[in-house]
Amino acid sequence: MFKKILARFGKGAATVDLRFNNRPYYAGETIDGEVRIHGGEVEQKVNFLAARLMISVSTKQGTETREVAKLPLSSAFVILPKEQKVIPFTYQIPQDLPVSRGSISYYFDTQLDIEGGVDRTDVDRLTIDVPKQIQVIFQAMDILGFREKHTSGKVDQYGQEFAFFPTQVFGGQVNEVELRFAYEESGVRVWMEVDCRNGFHEIEAKREFFLEQSVLQNESQLVELLKQYMTEVIDNPQAYTKPFSYTSHYGHQRHHGGGIGGMVGGLAMGILGGMLLGEMLDGLGVDEMMEGALEAAGFDEEAFGEEEEEDFGSFFGGGDDEEW
């Protein structure tokens, strides 16, 4: 009787332990593991066993956690004293989840719901890395002398953006290169933004291209192609200032419920929702908000002259000296 009372408070109760091969997994890869349940000092009824994949995102306001998926592993059962149960599980990681980076991390939260007692939990970290076809692009960038920034991997309403800085060949010409990716049947679509140095100013040049699987499987060809695209942008950045296609095409799909199919990190908006949108708006000034709105509408910012810019300034409160 005394053991049952203690078990209700967690002392001598059943325990749960989720196990899987603790290594980095690619987005789209399947995890095979098992949950081990060890009976305590007394017989106990378990209402259910489930594991949740959680995403943790660091923002300016702090750390936010959201559920990515819930895996029901077992309905009600009785666990006998000292009994051991092993329940296998399988989970396929969605291909368009954001990958693990400095501000983004994942973990499994396993819950053993014990009737009339303290629920038992188990937390296990999970690292999600970019798939091989994108890893080879990262390796090619490394060969070209680019290193991934510690702030790389930020997510927004479209997906996930990866940022690189030059260390060698392009050091005097480029401040930063930002890449986004989308999986397609025969390869990977790439959106590349190059922050080109232009005297005391910076020009954000945008280029979109598609990499066939045959190119992704040939490192030297991939390196030369990326170098060519980047050199062409640097030599004439003014020719590459049109908005990216994803700001209209992918955004249009999202607003009509189709999701951002194939975009790396495209599930972020669906999972993080209002928290992500609020974070983006908090980080934007009026000028950036207008620039984003113009891009989404398909307009070139340069198409608006000084007169139109003054009109926008009047609309949002007049001169620089006036406060909100």
Comparing 39 with 276, the larger pLDDT belongs to 39
Distance CA 233, CA 192 (A): 10
* Residue tagged 């950045």 (tokens): 237
Do residue 238 and residue 137 come from a single domain?
yes
Higher pLDDT, 193 or 261: 193
Whether 107 and 139 share a structural domain: no
Last residue of a domain, one of 129, 153, 184: 129
* Structural domain includes residue 236: yes
Dihedral angle computed from the Cα positions of residues 268, 273, 276 and 280, in that order, rounded to the nearest 10 degrees: 110
140 falls within a domain: yes
Q: Compute the distance between CA of residue 249 and CA of residue 190 in angstroms, rounded to an integer.
A: 14
* pLDDT tens by residue, 309-321: 333 333 233 334 3
For residues 158-186, give the mean pLDDT. Answer: 93
192 and 241, same domain (yes or no): yes
For the segment 2-31, what is each residue's pLDDT rounded down to a tens digit?
A: 344 434 434 458 999 999 998 999 999 999
Based on the structure, what is the number of domains in the chain? 2
Structure confidence at residue 214 (pLDDT): 97
| Residue 207 in domain | yes
Are 97 and 29 contained in the same domain?
yes
| Residues 34 and 93 both lie in one domain | yes
Indicate whether 38 pLDDT > 90.
yes
How confident is the model over 269-295, as pLDDT tens digits? Answer: 888 876 655 554 454 443 443 444 444
Is residue 203 predicted with pLDDT exceeding 60? yes
pLDDT in tens, 91-150: 999 988 999 998 899 999 999 999 977 788 999 999 999 889 999 999 999 999 999 999
Q: Distance between CA 78 and CA 112 in Å, rounded?
A: 12
Contacts of 135 (CB under 8 A, 6+ apart): 129
DSSP sequence for 54-104: EEEEEETTEEEEEEEEEEEEE-SEEE-TT-EEEEEEEEEPPTTSPPPBTTE
In a domain, 192, yes or no: yes
By the 10 Å C-beta count (0-12 exposed, 13-18 middle, 19+ buried), 291 is classed as middle
Residue type, 222: L
Based on the fold, state whether residues 139 and 281 are members of the same structural domain.
yes
Residue 254 and residue 260: Cα distance in Å, rounded?
6
311, part of any domain: yes
- Does 324 fall in a domain? no
Residues 106, 243, single domain; the answer is no
Write down which residue in 129, 144, 168 finishes a domain.
129
In a shared domain, residues 137 and 116: no
Please report the pLDDT score of residue 220 as a whole number: 98
- The verdict on 40 and 104 lying in the same domain is yes
Q: For residue 213, is it within any domain? A: yes
| Cβ atoms 268, 155 nearer than 8 A | yes
Residue 284 and residue 190 share a domain: yes
Which CATH number is 16's domain given?
2.60.40.640
Alpha-carbon span 179 to 141, nearest angstrom: 11
Kindly tell me if the per-residue pLDDT of 85 is higher than 90.
Answer: yes
* Structural domain containing residue 27: 2-129
**Contact (Cβ atoms closer than 8 angstroms) between residue 44 and residue 78:** yes
Instruction: Give the pLDDT mean for 158-170.
Output: 92
The mean pLDDT of the chain is: 81
Q: How confident is the model at residue 305 (pLDDT cuts 50, 70, 90)?
A: very low
Same domain, residue pair 104 and 214: no
Residue 321, in any domain of the structure: no
Q: Determine the Cα–Cα distance for residues 232 and 239; give it in Å rounded to an integer.
A: 9
Q: Are 61 and 87 within one domain?
A: yes
